[in-house]
Structure 1
Amino acid sequence: MQLTDNRRQITVGVFLLVGLLIFIVGIFTLGSQRKTFIKSITLNVVFNDIQGLKTGNNVWFSGVKIGTIKKIQFYGTSQVQVFVNIEEEAHKYIHKDAAASISSDGLIGNKIIVITGGSPKFPFIEDGDKLRVNTTLSTDDIMKTFQVNNKNLVEITTDFKSLAKGLVEGKGTAGALLTDQKVAENFKAIVENLKTTTASANKMAIQMDQFSKKMNTKGGLADKLLTDTAVFAKIQASVSELQKTAKAAAVMTENLNTASGKLNQKDNAVGLLLNDPKTADQVKAIMTNLETSTKKLDEDLEALQSNFLFRGFFKKRAKETAAKEAAAKKQGN
């Protein structure tokens, strides 16, 4: 009887010991998951909207869980202040300009806080520091954007449907190209003309290239014109002479214009003769009188030669003239 009682007590003791061990292991396991027994520092972040964050949600840094949300409370008029516990070992990777944002643990998982490391030129965070907020789109914002995009997509699809219908019915230029054979042939002709023009342009470019190479041929006229200073100086001198000649021709032309202008005026002798009929008649009369007088003078001279008083004089004069002509002939030979 006593042996049975001892066995029962031993059995109860073993069960109690096993239960106590399980309890202790559970506490340490949960504590390790919650990082209860790890030294930590406290940081705080002020959000306009925490999007469903709860106490106990995780805090992540570079894809690693480094802490949990300790406390959530209202801040100011409508903001929310969130206190987080961060492993003390993690603070040497996070700088004071680090930013915190709200994200999700998976597509539909619990909300979490994600911290970015910041710039190395800033010191590391310390216990009680306040992190700045990195504003990101929430799930609701993303869904609103999706709704707007879907609406735009429906409008674009409707417009494209109308456009496709118009193309099938041959409306517009594009529809005419697709349905009207004549328009399509004209368009093909335009394309062919463009090809021909392009080929001509390419040919012209090749010829211009060849011409430029000839221009650059050493020893050629173009090369001398561009590089030989002596040839250039001669050409420049020739141009100067041409300019002088052109200037002289211009002066002569101006003089001729002036002279021709004088011929059309009556303030000079030639112009008076050309433009005044009365003066011209007078000149004609004078010329007629001179001609008559000359004829009479010839007759008088002939009469004097026949006169015996002057006949010796004219014979002597004729002999002297003949002698001078003979002497001139001898000198010429």
Structure 2
Amino acid sequence: METRANHFIVGAFVLGLIAAAFGFVHWMGRQDLTADVTRYRILFHGSVAGLRPAGDVLFNGIKVGKIDTVAIYAPDPRQSEVMVSVQKGVPVREDSLASIAQVGITGLSAVQISAGTPNQPLATIKQKNGFADIKTNAALSGSVMDAMPELLANVNAFFVRLNQLVASNEDTLQKSLASLASFTAVLDSNKDELDKTLKNVNAITESFRTAAARLQSTIERIDSDLSEDDESIVVQAKKTMVALRGIAEKLNQTIDGNAEKLTQTATHSFQELAQLAKDGRRVVRGLDRLLEKVDRDPQSLLFGSTTVKPYQPQ
């Protein structure tokens, strides 16, 4: 009995020493950790799903600390209180903002702290509580995390429907792929003929374009020639008419000025002169009508009249 009691005492003493050693190491570690970090409080509005104690705290994407606690904020249950420890020397400023950042696809999240403006003062630590407050970016904290489950559900539903669609149309897709492969093979085997056909089509198109340009040029030249001919004919006709009018006027003046002498000396010739005057006036009227016709239809001098004769019943 005495030997067994000694072994029990020795074992208990050894276990006590081991427990004391672990406690001392843990206490020293907490003392060192507390001495080298600054504590901050963050009040998040909405969901903080994915945050857990010992989670990461990031500053511009760099790990600078850890999450201490995640709890409901007692004065306002709509908010969540997250206490974090950040390494000393990290410049958390008054306008720095905290948000929830997704870490991979595991569903875990981290606290992301922005750098803020360099000329702003550092966040002030309250002497009473021993921590400073960091404002939150409401646009990036709760809304994105709340929408993430719904987004993942929609993505999952999309892939499920896609798999069902592919499975139900597998035969059709295989036939379509086979037809596409056959069509590609035909094109590949006849690529020389296809190149020739395309070149011929391009040549025909170019020929049509050249012919159209030549036809347009010919039509413009014909219009120009006809216009010049019409103008020259009209000018010549007008000059002739002016000359004939001058002759007629001189003839009338001669007849009027010498009518009495002609009556005395050549009474028998008066009728012939009168007839000549009438003929001259008739010629003048005919030339007037000709000039009017030329003004209305100049091309009739070159191609004849285009007037359609009236129908004469048999």
TM-score, normalised via structure 1 length: 0.44
Looking at both structures, which has the greater relative contact order when contacts are Cα pairs under 8 Å and sequence separation is at least 6?
2
